[in-house]
Amino acid sequence: MQMKLAAGAFPLLSKWKSLISTIRRYKVMYALLLPALLYFALFKYIPMAGIIIAFKNYNMALGLWDSPWVGLKNFKDFMNGVYFWDIMRNTIIISLYKLLFGFSAPILLALLLNEVYVQWFKKIVQTITYLPHFLSWVIVYGMMVALLAPGDGLVNMILKENGFQPISFLSEPGWGRLLIILSEIWKDIGWGAILYLAALAGIDPSLYEAARMDGASKWRQLWHVTLPGIRGVVILMLILKLSHILDAGFDQIFMFANTFNQDKIDIIDTWVYREGLERLKIGLATAVGLFKAVIGFGLVLATNKLAKKFDGQIW
């Protein structure tokens, strides 16, 4: 028995010595990594203790530990609620639209800018496109009001001058989702393109030279050289996007929502804001947050598995 324990202890001891040796060798790198690890530990992992609120009828007067347990009641109340299917449908539709158009738009912009050889023009376009990212949604909504207001909005003034009836863009339900998608693309297209431009800059130029010598056209170079060169970055960003598929953008929806279009753009996060903060149903709000996190985690695992399965078979 002692011989078996000794035999099992030596490989473990060897691994610990190897780990300590690696840490000593790269101690500067680990020191640089330490603040990020502390950040995630303090603000991401330790607060996970609050997940138990999802299984309690939380009362601020009683505190976290003394509030009564209710099991899965908060989850059942959410799923059996009157608005469950409406907010789920709105959240999924808006998220899929953002994923389909908002995710591909920065890639397209990066591919177009990569073909621009006049550097001063390229820099101007980059600056103009990524500046909106630094604007808050409050400012963006104010700009939308200035452009699309029914009475004195610029677009409606042009429509009236040309004999058309003004359109209530910000209050008609049919325009709500379209404005959300378009404003999201306008705000983040330039910022998102920066990462893809960096990936494009890392492609070996000799690959393009070899493709041109083989008689490949621009489209062939794009399909067989450019897109495979940024495939890893695209897959990584897709995985990160899917992890937030049920977010749909609280700040943006909160600004755009009103009495008239709320049925079409009300999402999980805005509903949780009303129930959790305005009506102080904190247990219910926590349960919904946990529900979203579990679905996001599952989507990340599934997407990562598919990415590994099809790696090398795309393009």
- On average, the pLDDT of the chain sits at 84
pLDDT the model gives residue 10: 58
Distance of CA 54 to the CA centre of its chain: 24
Q: What is the pLDDT of residues 121-157, one digit of tens each?
A: 888 988 898 899 998 999 999 898 888 888 778 888 8
| pTM assigned to the model | 0.78
Radius of gyration of the chain (CA): 26
* Residue 311 three-state SS: coil
Distance of CA 229 to the CA centre of its chain: 23
Q: Rounded to an integer, what distance in angstroms lies between the CA atom of residue 34 and that of residue 22? A: 15
Let me know the angle formed at the C-alpha of 157 by 152 and 158, rounded to the nearest 5 degrees.
155
Q: What is the pLDDT of residues 22-60, one digit of tens each?
A: 888 888 888 888 999 999 899 888 888 888 888 988 888
Q: What is the pLDDT of residues 203-212, one digit of tens each?
A: 888 888 888 8
pLDDT the model gives residue 293: 84
Q: Rounded to an integer, what distance in angstroms lies between the CA atom of residue 195 and that of residue 107? A: 9
Distance of CA 40 to the CA centre of its chain: 18
Q: What is the pLDDT of residues 145-200, one digit of tens each?
A: 888 888 778 888 888 888 888 888 888 888 888 999 999 999 989 888 888 988 88
Q: Rounded to an integer, what distance in angstroms lies between the CA atom of residue 238 and that of residue 243? A: 9
Three-state SS across 115-172? CCCCHHHHHHHHHHHHHHHHCCHHHHHHHHHHHHCCCCCHHHHHHHHCCCCCCCCCCC
Q: Rounded to an integer, what distance in angstroms lies between the CA atom of residue 71 and that of residue 268? A: 21
Mean pLDDT (whole number) for 103-119: 88
Q: Rounded to an integer, what distance in angstroms lies between the CA atom of residue 118 and that of residue 120? A: 6
